[in-house]
């Protein structure tokens, strides 16, 4: 491995750690109501926390839901760190095979009909299509209803996915059956 490949690999690693920090730290603060000092964690712990992002994409639930499920199951073993420099549980325990099995069981229990996938698909479709139309304040109810009806028709015409969207096969295609 030459020097440029090594630099590219380090840059990709920094980007992965940055993405992990931007998603995991707010979720951690939401679940545990304490700050996680991500910069002072060792690299192997950062790698382990990036597994939470993979699980989030795989199971179509948020990282804070994953942390909440695992925390509820590992409550006895979880210590509350006072400094924010540690997780309170070992990284291999947090993202190990048994944790993944626990997560799969809980997802099946919480979402027996795959509601998490349908909810994710609808949110992703709305996000890709540009969001919902905005309402405009008017004086009377008649002009408001006409304007709103026109706006919805126009929005649907512009945002309706073409049939080619559903034919394309790629990972996490929200229109694919």
pLDDT tens figures, 15-33: 888 888 888 888 888 888 7
Range of the domain at 39: 3-112
Q: 66 and 143 in one domain?
A: no
The answer to whether 161 touches 121, Cβ cutoff 8 Å, is no
Phi, then psi, of 162 in degrees rounded to 5 = -75, 155
**Taking the complete model, does pTM exceed 0.85, yes or no?**
no
Q: 107 and 147 in one domain?
A: no
CB count within 10 Å of CB 52 equals 23
Q: 70 and 29 in one domain?
A: yes
User: If DSSP states are collapsed to H, E and C, what string results for the chain?
Assistant: CCHHHHHHHHHHHHHHHHHHHHHHHHHHHHHHCCCCCHHHCCHHHHHHHHHHHHHHHHHCCCHHHHHHHHHHHCCCCCCCCCCCCCCCCCHHHHHCHHHHHHHHHHHHHHCCCCHHHHHHHHHHHHHHHCCCCCCCCCCCHHHHHHHHHHHHHHHHHHHCCCHHHHHCCCCCCCCCC
Q: 100 and 14 in one domain?
A: yes
Q: Quick check: is 172 in a domain?
A: no
Q: 102 and 136 in one domain?
A: no
Q: 145 and 72 in one domain?
A: no
Domain finish residue from 112, 131, 152: 112
Residues with Cβ within 8 Å of residue 40, at least 6 apart in sequence = 84, 85
Calpha distance 107→121 (Å, rounded): 16
Calpha distance 169→161 (Å, rounded): 15
Encode pLDDT of 118-155 as tens digits. Answer: 888 888 877 777 666 555 555 566 677 777 788 788 77
Q: 86 and 42 in one domain?
A: yes
Q: Which two tokens mark 20? A: 């992990």
Q: 19 and 59 in one domain?
A: yes
Q: Quick check: is 175 in a domain?
A: no
Instruction: Tell whether the model's pLDDT for residue 44 goes beyond 80.
Output: yes
Higher pLDDT, 13 or 1: 13
Instruction: Tell whether the model's pLDDT for residue 61 goes beyond 70.
Output: yes
The total of structural domains in the chain comes to: 2
Calpha distance 123→130 (Å, rounded): 11
Q: 84 and 52 in one domain?
A: yes
Q: 149 and 101 in one domain?
A: no
Q: Quick check: is 173 in a domain?
A: no
């Amino acid at each position: 491995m030459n020097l440029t490949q090594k630099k590219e690999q380090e840059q990709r690693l920094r980007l992965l750690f940055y993405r992990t920090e931007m998603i995991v730290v707010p979720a951690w603060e939401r679940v545990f109501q304490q700050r996680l000092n991500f910069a002072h964690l060792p690299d192997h712990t950062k790698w382990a926390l990036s597994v939470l992002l993979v699980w989030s994409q795989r199971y179509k639930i948020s990282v804070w839901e994953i942390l909440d499920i695992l925390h509820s199951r590992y409550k006895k073993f979880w210590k509350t760190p006072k400094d924010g420099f540690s997780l309170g549980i070992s990284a291999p325990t947090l993202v190990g095979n048994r944790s993944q099995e626990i997560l799969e069981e809980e997802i099946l229990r919480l979402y027996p009909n795959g509601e998490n996938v349908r909810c994710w698909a609808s949110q992703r479709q709305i996000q890709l299509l540009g969001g919902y139309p905005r309402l405009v304040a008017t004086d009377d109810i008649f002009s408001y209803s006409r304007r709103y009806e026109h706006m919805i028709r126009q929005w649907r015409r512009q945002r309706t996915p073409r049939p080619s969207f559903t034919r394309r096969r790629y990972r996490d295609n929200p229109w694919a059956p």
